[in-house]
Homo-oligomer: A and B are copies of this chain.
């Protein structure tokens, strides 16, 4: 079965994008990975309307990427802040890979406005594709695709 003959109905890239494949959702996650937790901070920093932010946060909480945690400041009512779950942090490679591509192709001449580095040595981090069998980093040409167990023929 070639890729064109394979149904995309259960494609896991498509399903991942159904959850996080919207620009504002990914920008909310970018901020969450940078420590932002509160509604007003997201709204102001990501730069979107209350309605759109509320919708995206609801969707991200609903899919288990973010979770709400109550907090209360003196003299205020209880509010909720948004924290990444394990499922949310597992998107870190996606975010770093996106940033790496953006750094390379879209950065200002001086470089990107944010750097991500290894805590121990201070070197930049890199998103790479490696062989699960321990044969190091791979280029697209060093990989091949084949139908998986759940591959179905497209109608």
Contact = CB atoms under 8 A, between A and B. Distances in A.
Contact of A16 (B47, B105, B114, B152): B105
A142 interface: yes
Interface residues of A, number: 93
Quickly give the copy total for this chain.
Answer: 2
A119 B7 CA distance: 24
Given A13-B102, A115-B146, A118-B133, 18 more contacts: A3-B114, A6-B113, A8-B113, A12-B107, A12-B114, A13-B99, A16-B99, A17-B26, A17-B27, A21-B26, A93-B129, A94-B94, A110-B149, A113-B151, A115-B148, A118-B135, A120-B142, A123-B135
A93 to B, nearest CB: 4
Contacts of A132: 118, 123-126
B23 A114 contact: no
A98 interface: yes
